[in-house]
Chain A
Amino acid sequence: MARRALEEINAGSMADIAFLLLIFWLVTTTIDSDQGIKRQLPPPVPPNADVPQAREQNVFNVKVNFLNQLLVEGEPLDLEQLKNKAKNFLIATGDGIMSHPVGGVTVGVEREVIQVRSASGSLNAAFPERIWVRETEVKAKIAEYEAAVRSAGGAGADKAKPYEGALEMWREKLTTIELLGGDYKELPPSALISMQNDNNTTYDTYIQVQNELQTAVNELRDEVALAKFGETFTALEDRYDRNPDDAELLKKIIAVRTLYPQRISEAEPRQASGY
């Protein structure tokens, strides 16, 4: 009896089956992308607490009404112009390090403060005045706080904690001076960008305004990081996220952050701000 040779099974249709599975998978899954604008909410304010008022010139007011229109520093403004206006606010008197192009105009290393008479009649600068941070002064402060820490029982002692916090801040300033190559001008601590919206503002407008304000800060940071470290700030941060042990990288990030702190805050919610 002749043994019949086994016929080979044709596997050609396997590919089709696998393709069907693949396409089914592609269609049914939704990839969740967890990206967006990050914000740190302010801690809750206890009732009846006194909220310190910043000087008028140090606050960049952005209000959005129920028609999604913007009122920036008391004037109606288009969303497209918001970024440049915010940048102008942040480096109104120059940062002391380098010049920046803002909307076709170059803001120099140092600039005269424009004096404007406010509604109440007092003579005000329209922008926050950045203050020089000099290397000699910073070093003197560091020496002063180091002595204070020593006399309070050395590093780690309970009494020395407040001094250590201050010491850390001054050391960051010194890092900034060293890495950016010289004295710089810092934003006054009370300077901030404040946003207030109406209950009927749409979420989209809210996000666009937040995004423009963030772009203003990020662009300035990118410009300085690119000039000093040959890399954008975003790239620096990305790299740091992947290896958080890189101390040199962290110093660079701190330097840029000290020069351009992120000061976008939201006003306490209030009903209907008409204009």
Chain B
Amino acid sequence: MSKFKKDAKRATPGISTASLPDIVFILLFFFMVATVIRSDDEKVKIERPEASELYRIEKKHLIRYVNIGVPMDSRYGTEPVMQLNDAFSTPAQIQDWIAKERLTLPEAEQSKMWVSLKVDKDTKMGIVTEVKQELRYASALKVLYSTAGRKRTGAE
């Protein structure tokens, strides 16, 4: 009889799943920390256009958002409107809004404020041009046209 006869009765032990919850919790915490939760609701439907020459703003606290699109709630109409913070607004209110938002930044950074225009791709340029003119009068000249990413045309 062989000394090294295999023990036929021995089965492979099951893999312990005790550490699985820990792994999943770490994942959960990672996502909780890494995601930025938008503070104000979007009240307008926005499907952003796509572009390839993107710039990413690293300092998020410098960004203020202007949303333009058709209201989510059709009771507010079907024409594109502008949303500042949490409320529908008219372009005439932009100068006051910019002045107020500037004051929320530390003095040294007030000139570095960005305005991110989130505009639905089917919007006509009329309202966008109006908003841009108001931004010029408010001296908020750094503008980002918020877009989704895509490849360059003609690139493989």
Contacts and interface: CB of A to CB of B under 8 A. Distances in A.
Contact of B28 (A22, A83, A210): A22
Contact of A32 (B17, B36, B153): B36
B38 to A, nearest CB: 6
B126 A43 contact: no
Contacts of A203: 49, 119-125, 128
Interface in A220-260: 241
Interface in B56-84: 56-58, 60, 63
Interface string A5-21: 00000011011011101
A41 B58 CA distance: 20
Contacts of B142: 38, 40-41
Interface stretch (A106-114, A140-148, A211-219): A211-219
Contacts of A210: 51, 145
A43 B139 contact: yes
A44 interface: yes
B24 A200 contact: no
Contacts of A25: 28, 31-32, 35
Most buried by B among A14, A41, A198: A41
Interface in B108-156: 116-117, 119-126, 128-129, 132-133, 135-137, 139-149, 152-154
A39 B145 contact: yes
A31 B125 contact: no
Contacts of B20: 14-15
A163 to B, nearest CB: 26
A46 to B, nearest CB: 11
Nearest to A26: B31
Chain B interface extent, by class: 35 or more
Contacts, number: 151
B123 A35 contact: no
Contacts of A211: 51-53, 147
A203 B120 CA distance: 7
Contacts of B154: 80, 83
Please classify how large the interface on chain A is, using the bins under 10, 10 to 19, 20 to 34, 35 or more: 35 or more
Given A34-B56, A214-B53, A21 B28 contact: yes
Nearest to B63: A34
B24 A15 contact: yes
Interface string B89-121: 000000000000000000000000000110111
A208 interface: yes
A236 to B, nearest CB: 14
A219 to B, nearest CB: 8
Contacts of A215: 52-53, 152-153
B25 interface: yes
Given A15-B24, A22-B27, A34-B146, A199 B126 contact: yes
A269 interface: yes
A212 to B, nearest CB: 7
B21 interface: yes
Given A25-B32, A43-B139, A269 B129 contact: yes
A202 interface: yes
Given A21-B28, A41-B136, A201 B143 contact: no
A233 to B, nearest CB: 11
A75 interface: no
Contacts of B35: 25, 29, 31
A207 interface: yes
B125 A204 contact: no
Contacts of A105: none
A25 to B, nearest CB: 6
18 contacts: A18-B25, A31-B35, A33-B56, A34-B56, A34-B57, A34-B60, A35-B54, A36-B116, A37-B145, A41-B140, A43-B141, A199-B125, A199-B129, A200-B124, A200-B125, A207-B51, A210-B145, A212-B153
